[in-house]
Amino acid sequence: MVESDSSPFRVFTVDDTAIAHDAASDGMWPLLTNDQQMTPAELFDAYRWQPNLEKRHAQLKGTQLVAPMWLRDPARIDGLLT
């Protein structure tokens, strides 16, 4: 803080080097795995599918409140659970 004529004001500077360094890593995050056979695209697809997998796991472990009905197609059963 610098005082001039009894009124305080602040002086800011822009660090262009720090901005360029931070901009180079914007939008990036690490995905770690112990599967050495996965390509980066497969790893990203598996990461994107994880919330669906966890939702289905929670549905299968919980109680299901459905009316009794005859379903012949497994896709219809899957559609009712998702």
**How far is Cα 25 from Cα 15, in angstroms, rounded to an integer?**
16
Give how far Cα 57 sits from Cα of 17, 52, 53, 62, 82, Å.
Answer: 47, 9, 6, 9, 11
On the question of pLDDT at 14 being above 80, the answer is yes
Question: Tokens 């599967």 sit at which residue?
Answer: 35
Each residue's pLDDT tens digit, 22-52: 888 888 778 888 989 989 899 888 888 887 7
Whether 3 has a pLDDT exceeding 60, the answer reads no
Q: Mean of the per-residue pLDDT values for the chain? A: 80
Question: What is the reported pLDDT for 57?
Answer: 75
pTM score, two decimals?
A: 0.37
